[in-house]
Structure 1
Amino acid sequence: MSNRNFSKAKAREAGQGYVFMSPTLLVLLLFIIGPILYAIFLAFHKVQLLGAADFQYVGFDNFTKIMNDEKAKIALWNTFKYVIIVVPVQTILALVLAATLNAGIKGQKFFRIIYFLPTLTSSAVLTLIFMWMYNQNGLFNKFLSIFGLPGYNWIGDPSIALNAIMMMNIWSTAPFYMVIYLAALQDIPESLYEAAELDGANVFQKFLFITVPNLRPVTSFVVIMGLIGTFQLFDQSYIFSGGSGGPNNSTLTVVLLIYQYAFKSMGTMGYAAAIAFALAIVILIATLIQRKFSKEESLY
């Protein structure tokens, strides 16, 4: 075959490949790449989308405005508290549950199904169920009354409302990461545990010195996914507070604040896009820091 014919065949093959990929490329362009680029464009403009669309270039004014926005500071602090509590707790709980269910206890298949059920429930439905349980006469307060403990205003007390959302999310997300840990535990050679047992290691020592080190890559993945998910908390906070972030802004998160500025305030769509862009940078930095620490740990 001549070089010219070979080039034509190669070009035809490449063209066919792009034709087959075109639906996926079109979806990526319309629903992922396009919106990202448009959001970046909006972040540098003062935008009025309702009525006659108006775009006024303001440079970095939207980003500097964030530094002086008290609601943005409150939302960032609430999100930060949520992240530093939920991510470690759900990771540790998922690891412990996975190790327990992998230890060969009786009925482990039944417990695996039961523990995984919260993950199958819709987030909105789960939030409504917990709001019913958090009610003044709900399940939680009745349970506390059995032990003679006082009940709490779980939804209406600013000092407790965010903690209530934390508990709900830890309970609902830990089983998902538990399944990931369960799959990773199958790859740890049984000979390591047998050798440790011959050396006199007990259950806790085998867990700390064999299970945990061998699961570091999976733990890194779980933490990164947890960071991304917790920074994007929105639906539970929205449903709990009716979209206000209350009581007293105690459940106001960064994503909920973006929603408020984008769809509840006039002329602040560009500012909302700037906050969203800043949040994306924060998530990226947090992810890179976590990956750097995980790589340094793997060297030792």
Structure 2
Amino acid sequence: MLRQTGQGYLFMLPTLFVLLTFVVGPILYAIFLSFNKVQLLGGTSYQFVGLDNFIRLLDDDRAKIALWNTAKYVLIVVPTQTFLALVLAASLNAGLKGEKFFRIVYFLPTLTSSAVLTLIFMWMYNQNGLINEILEKVGLPTYNWLGDPSVALNAIMIMNIWSTAPFFMVIYLAALQGIPKSLYEAADLDGANAIQKFFFITVPNLRPVTSFVVIMGIIGTFQLFDQSYIFSGGSGGPNNSTLTVVLLIYQYAFKNMGTMGYAAALAFALAIIILIATLLQRKFSKEETL
């Protein structure tokens, strides 16, 4: 028995090594940094400061702005992309003509590099770009998508909803294949229309999948970084309107070398926020009790 256990751990050793080195180790090191003032220039040095880094979060105005921007982004993007993904999946599952073609077209944004996609949308969002030209032709007001603080974050939201909804659409599409057709046949006999079948058969049967999609969406949106970085050139502008928590962590960690410990504390706080948001979502979706 002991020999078999030893053989099992021996086979697991490479995986355990990778997990400890690249997952568990960095997490523990980040927690360690969050309780220290770290100096990286002229030789790395650590000065234990206890909870000072976390207390500093309460007085950091930029951290509050970043948290508000991120929270607003999560509250708008997650429900919208989830609903859009479900609608797209349901339409493709209805057996429309050219279904395979539309599957490919819808999924193309997911295959595109995030950085390349952001640059394309920046060109489209230019004041003389494609989007403003279309708005002008149909008689709608145009916007300074990149330079107006009131719409800059909305521009990123639109781009991300368009690019991430197809990924979750594929998950929904796979789940729709597992719903028994007999349920829809019984609903037809009862005289249910398409909308009633959607809300009383499709949506309830997809509840576990929806829970997964929402959790993945929450985690992904809270970690928004690259689009915000490229849009603002790393500044979080204009006027901090696209500043997110992860972008702020990057600024403190790599632009201000004396605040690596504070950046780690901010990252640790973000992890706690994501955990709480995920647990609350599971509670509300009745997947499990707290």
The answer to whether the Cα contact below 8 Å between 2:65 and 2:243 also exists between their aligned partners in 1 is: yes
Matches within 5 A, 1:241-280: 241-280=232-271
CA distance, structure 1, for counterparts of residue 7 and residue 111 of structure 2: 39
Deviation at 1:15, TM superposition (A): 2.4
CA distance in 1, matches of 2:288, 2:165: 24
Partner of 1:4: none
**Residue of structure 2 in register with 1:207 after alignment:** 198
1:110-137 Cα shifts (integer Å, max 9, x gaps): 1011100100111111101111111111
Alignment deviations for residues 105-160 of structure 1 (CA, whole Å, 9 cap, x no partner): 00111101110010011111110111111111111011112112332110111000
Superposed counterparts of 1:8-47, under 5 Å: 10-47=1-38
User: CA separation in 2, counterparts of 1:113 and 1:296?
Assistant: 32
Q: TM-score, normalised by structure 2?
A: 0.97
Cα displacement string for residues 16-69 of structure 1 (whole angstroms, at most 9, x for unaligned residues): 222222221111111110000000000000110222211111111100100100
Corresponding residue number in structure 2 for 1:113: 104
Alpha-carbon distance in 1 for matches of 2:29, 2:287: 37
Report the residue type matching 1:234 in the other structure: F
Q: How does 1:195-234 map to 2 (within 5 A)?
A: 195-234=186-225
Percent identity between matched residues is 81
Q: Name 1:5's counterpart in structure 2.
A: none
Matched letter for residue 285 of structure 1: I
Q: Which residue of the other structure, out of 103, 110, 116, is the alignment partner of 1:125?
A: 116
| Residue from 114, 120, 139 that aligns with 1:148 | 139
Q: Which has the larger radius of gyration?
A: 1
- CA gap of 1:160–1:38, structure 2 versus 1, over 3 A, is same
16, 39, 61: which one pairs with 1:48? 39
Structure 2: segments with no counterpart, 5+ residues: none
TM-score relative to the length of structure 1:
0.94
Query: Is 1:182 matched up with 2:209?
Result: no
Shift of 1:297: 10
Inter-partner Cα distance in structure 1 for 2:42 and 2:106: 50
Given that 2:208 and 2:287 are in contact with CA atoms closer than 8 Å, whether structure 1 keeps it comes out as no
Q: Output the amino acid matched with 2:188.
A: E
| Structure 2 counterpart of 1:102, one-letter code | N
3-state DSSP class of the match of 1:268? helix
1:124–1:296 distance in 2 versus 1, CA, 3 Å: closer
- Alpha-carbon distance in structure 2 between the residues aligned to 1:183 and 1:50: 51
Q: 2:187, 2:95 → 1: CA distance?
A: 18
Query: Partners in 2 of 1:205 and 1:96 — Cα distance?
Result: 14
Q: Deviations over 1:243-300 (max 9, x none)?
A: 00000000000000000000001310000000000000000000001101111799xx
SS, match of residue 141 in structure 2: coil
CA deviations 1:81-102 (Å, max 9, x no partner) are 0000000000000000000100
Which residue is 1:88 aligned to?
A: 79
CA displacement, residues 151-187 of structure 1 (integer Å, 9 cap, x when unaligned): 2110111000000000000000000000000000011
1:165 to 148, 156, 164: 156
2:275 is the alignment partner of 1:284: yes
> One-letter code of the match for 2:138?
F
Secondary structure of 1:250 counterpart: coil
Runs (4+) of structure 1 exceeding 4 A deviation are none
2:120 maps to a residue whose letter is I
Q: For residue 173 of structure 1, what is the amino acid of its counterpart?
A: T
Cα distance, 1:296–1:222 mapped onto 2, change above 3 Å: closer
